[in-house]
Copies of this chain bind each other. A is one copy, B any other.
Amino acid sequence: MMIGGHEDKEHRRTILREIARHVGGGKLVIATVASHEPEGYFKRYKAAFDGLGVGDLCEVYLEDRTEALDERKLHAFDNAAGVFFTGGDQLRITSQIGNTPIERRVCDIYLRGGLIAGTSAGASVMSETMLTTGRGRESYRIGDIGLAPGLGLIDGVIIDQHFAERGRIGRLLGALAQNPRLLGIGIDEDTAIVVQGDTFGVIGSGAVYVLDAAGVTRSNIAEQEEDRVMSIYDMRMHVLASGHSFRLDTRRPSEISSTTP
């Protein structure tokens, strides 16, 4: 589950409720690795999940990469039904846990059907390649993009978050122009996609933007001048609100008859 950041923690808690539902009465690991200053994060989520029926909540934070080898840290993942990556800096997540036993524990949980969720930076890291920098709210220039390898839990997509709020369509378009193989998914705040198999559904109060570059007929992204403004022809876009779903294999949207309870 990828969340666009700022999920509601006090009122309807639609997204946290969905996380709790997936975890059942099981254990949820809150991984605050993305944060430089994790103080208060765990406490806030502990309060936010209160009453939603999660059996056990525990925090995993790493001061540095060597801690990713620490047996006690690894034990936190024992019998976990889910892992939730909170926000911060996506490079902190990948540089701290990439190719460590902790990453393998996360993958194991995922492969045996557990829930892997992430918000903001925690959402971006799910893909093979992730956006790390790129200014919002201005004309997109060829050299603006910053990409890095992600955790690779989901193939063929690139995810951006705080999407409408930070005016990020330019940077996602730029990433797709580089390689139209990837599907671009921009997620608004308090909004999430729940991926199951080849399909994702949308939940939350905002929208999800799917950018499909398969039909793009031209772009100038391979030009050498970094300061040149991007141009790109024939991008396809879908805007999906709660209750809509999208098939990643056929790249087609549809409406779910009833929204997730």
Residue of B nearest to A227 (CB): B205
Residue among B189, B230, B234, B239 making CB contact with A230, cutoff 8 Å? B239
| Closest beta carbon of chain B to A161's beta carbon, Å | 13
User: A166 and B139: CB pair below 8 A?
Assistant: no
Residue among B165, B189, B205, B238 making CB contact with A235, cutoff 8 Å? B238
A237 at the interface (CB under 8 A from B): yes
One complex includes copies of this chain to the number of 2
User: B242 and A238: CB pair below 8 A?
Assistant: no
Residue of B nearest to A210 (CB): B233
Bound-complex Cα distance A37 to B191 (A) = 41
A102 at the interface (CB under 8 A from B): no
Most buried by B among A170, A236, A253: A170
Known: A170-B207, A235-B238. 14 other contacts (CB 8 A): A137-B164, A138-B206, A139-B241, A140-B239, A206-B229, A207-B229, A207-B230, A207-B231, A218-B253, A230-B241, A231-B238, A233-B238, A234-B237, A235-B237
What class of interface size applies to chain A in its complex with B?
35 or more
Q: Which residues of B are found within 8 Å of A233, using beta-carbon distances?
A: 238-239, 253
17 A-B interface contacts by CB (under 8 A): A138-B165, A139-B164, A164-B169, A164-B170, A165-B167, A166-B167, A170-B207, A205-B229, A207-B229, A228-B241, A231-B238, A231-B244, A232-B238, A233-B238, A233-B239, A235-B239, A236-B236
User: A231 and B235: CB pair below 8 A?
Assistant: no
Q: Which residues of B are found within 8 Å of A139, using beta-carbon distances?
A: 164, 188-189, 191, 205-207, 241
Known contacts A237-B237, A244-B231; A166/B137 CB under 8 A:
yes
